[in-house]
A and B are shown apart, each in its own frame.
Chain A
Amino acid sequence: MQLNHAQRELTVKIVYYGPGLSGKTTNLQMVHQRTASDVRGRLLTVETHDDRTLFFDLLPVFFSTANGFKVKVKLFTVPGQVIHNATRRIVLQGADAVAFIADSRRSMGPDNNAYWKNLLENMRENGLDPAQVPVVIQYNKRDLPDAKTDAEIEETRKKGKEPVVGAIAIRGVGVLETLHAVLQVGYRAIDARAGLTKNIGLTEREFLGQVFANIDTTGTELEKAFPPRKVEAK
């Protein structure tokens, strides 16, 4: 988080982390598709020829608060391949919250665990306290044959304090719900640290409201809370 009082600007950093090919970039692509073009930048992706993220993906979303504060939410993904650990660590610098994209398939359990440990390690290396950086877990690829059952996922949820969201990112299922959850925990962590409500008059309600007012929530669990606006997302 970067809070610049002189320029009245707040930058929030969210990082999508997880094993290779678990769907981090797909999540960002779906958010990009659903977000009105006037509140987001282009989706910056650097991929190798076989669709593997090489450095990171970046999708900025921005708005101005009622108090005239400029807020930028930067959504990043890390490269998932093992060899890119140095890059993962750099992208993770200064993260306010992390969406951990896990692969639901049973066979991917060891990978999920390895990257979970890698996340905690890299947080510590970056001087981030894993206890202070909130994480939301997305169980992606719920539709695949080998996927864990809901009961098994419930077991995983009970093992920690992180919110868990099921998803089929490629069809957009659970993507906005994950974004909502990670922005919510991220806001709360920053608010606890920097007093967003008190110091710049930005409440959780306004923060989430401003972001989701410009995202097409049709067909998601967020549709009721954030009715899609009439203007079509380009």
Chain B
Amino acid sequence: MRQGESVLQRRISLGEMLDGESFTEVVKGFVELYRVGIKVFDDKGAKLADIKINNGDFCGYVFSFPEGRRRCTATVGRVKDGPVATTHGARLPVLESDLVPQARGMVTVPCFTGLRYLIMPILWEGDTMGRVVFGPFTPEDLVDFPPRSLTEVTDAFDVGNAKTLVEKVRRAPESTIARIMLHFGQLMQTMLFAGQKMFLTSQLHIEATLEQNRELEERNRKLEDMNTRLKELDRLKSAFLATVSHELRTPLTSIIGYSEMLAEGLAGTLNDEQVDYVRTIMEKGETLLKLISSILDISQIEAGKVRLNFEPMDAIELVTSSVSSLKPQAHKKGVVLEARVPSRVAQVNGDRDRLRQVIVNLLANAVKFTPKAGRVTVTLSEVGHQPDLNAQGYRIIVEDSGVGIPADQFDKIFHSFYQVDSSSTREYGGAGLGLAIVKSFVEGHGGVVRVASEMGHGSRFTLILPVVPSLQPQVQITPPVTALQAPVDDRF
């Protein structure tokens, strides 16, 4: 969940909208140009600017008398904190008619000295954000100076001195000061707009950055959690598979063993039909055993338990022995199986048993997917530079004239449990583990597997293996393809 409320959700103050220093500069310029003091307060009475000009001597003189001080303080209080309305001694300003509509809200507060103040509310989007005070100034219409309200503050009042001092205060018609004030108000609106924009955007920039940060942290935490959970699940799954495979294998071995004994007549002679049945039980048992072994391999690879054992080995022997183990199957299906090997191949390193399993898996697939009278060949190259590995290496190519693999499935077929045709009515059996094992063993040697195929014409698997395995002999597996997320109903 987000932290705190956005700046967009609250009212911002005048102080936040104005840049203090530059605003003071502007006010100062205004005061010097028009020679009238300006004060700006926000709606809580906080002072945002206070620039005086030329009235200091006169006001200071009045302020020097106790009663003068009292009356002065009252007037300043009225101007600063009193309502911006025609009450508490304030009245509407005397204006030229063209100013009246614009000057709505402006009031005049007379000072007991005969001087005057003008007050204007600062309106922003319908709210009163504060006030501007202009003055004191000497109104043009002030004729009988000093008024009684000033002279009565003390018996010692020096009229001559007061007249000299008040001369320094700007004298102007109320309407002129109002006009200047309106001009100041317009300028302030522009400054407020610019200030608000700057304030909101800078705040929002900060908020967005914090929010992004929060989002990332949350995502990281979720990913970490998920990773931990997945690792645990994965470990459990592998352990489960290993146990189950083992538990399945034990009774299956007995089934096969006893069938074999039956077929060989150890428990008495069987007739031909019985022998046939028993052999079928044996064959199917063997198939099942192979499948279980594959599952065990995968689960061990997944559990990181498989370590390859690299030793010098004979590549020609590797290929020919693999071929001979598949000969019976090929023969039975009526598929021609042949090995093409060079007369001599330099010695190579590898895990012979695992590589044999790789070739056998590929050959078994090739035979399985090649129809009667088809052809499966396995070719061993000589040792040479392999650009794919950027090292010395050799190739083993298993080709068939079978059904082929669609090009968009080339990657997926190497994922565990993946099958091109996974329908329940599919023609070919298998668990979809053979190629996953192939890939992980070949990559465990620092090699690569390439696949090429044309639908209806056959497939070619090329193993490119280094003479000296380059990787740590730790085998990894490509995880199964996860189903895409179920689509949610679209609104549009």
Contact = CB atoms under 8 A, between A and B. Distances in A.
Q: Do A and B come from one complex?
A: yes
Interface of A: 2, 39, 41-42, 44, 46, 54-56, 58, 60, 62-64, 70, 72, 76, 84-87, 89-91, 93-94, 102, 109, 112-113, 116-117, 125-127, 156, 159-160
A51 to B, nearest CB: 16
Contacts of B1: 125, 127
Interface of B: 1-2, 5-6, 8-9, 124-127, 193, 196-197, 200-201, 204-205, 207-209, 211-212, 215, 488, 490-492
Contact of A90 (B2, B125, B491): B2
A127 B215 CA distance: 15
A194 B9 CA distance: 18
Contacts of A109: 490, 492
A102 B492 contact: yes
Given A60-B125, A87-B204, A94 B9 contact: yes
Nearest to B209: A86
A112 B490 CA distance: 9
Contacts of B204: 55-56, 87, 90
Contacts of B201: 46, 54-55
Given A46-B197, A54-B201, 16 more contacts: A41-B124, A44-B193, A55-B208, A56-B204, A60-B125, A63-B126, A72-B125, A89-B2, A90-B6, A90-B8, A90-B204, A90-B207, A112-B491, A112-B492, A113-B492, A159-B491
A76 B488 CA distance: 29
A94 B8 CA distance: 10
Contacts of A62: 125-126
A87 B212 CA distance: 9
Contacts of B2: 89-90, 93, 125-126
Contacts of B212: 86
A86 B197 contact: no
Contact of B208 (A58, A87, A94): A87
A160 B492 CA distance: 10
Contacts of B5: 93
Contacts of B490: 109, 113, 116
B193 A90 contact: no
Nearest to A84: B208
A84 B209 CA distance: 10
B208 A42 contact: no
A221 to B, nearest CB: 23
Contacts of B492: 102, 109, 112-113, 116, 156
A125 B127 CA distance: 32
4 A-B pairs with least C-beta separation: A62-B126, A86-B211, A112-B492, A41-B125
B13 to A, nearest CB: 14
B130 to A, nearest CB: 15
A46 B9 CA distance: 18
Contact of B8 (A46, A56, A102, A117): A56
Contacts of A116: 490-492
Contacts of A87: 204, 208, 211
Nearest to B207: A90
Contacts of B6: 90-91, 93
A102 B490 CA distance: 13
A86 B206 CA distance: 11
A160 B489 CA distance: 11
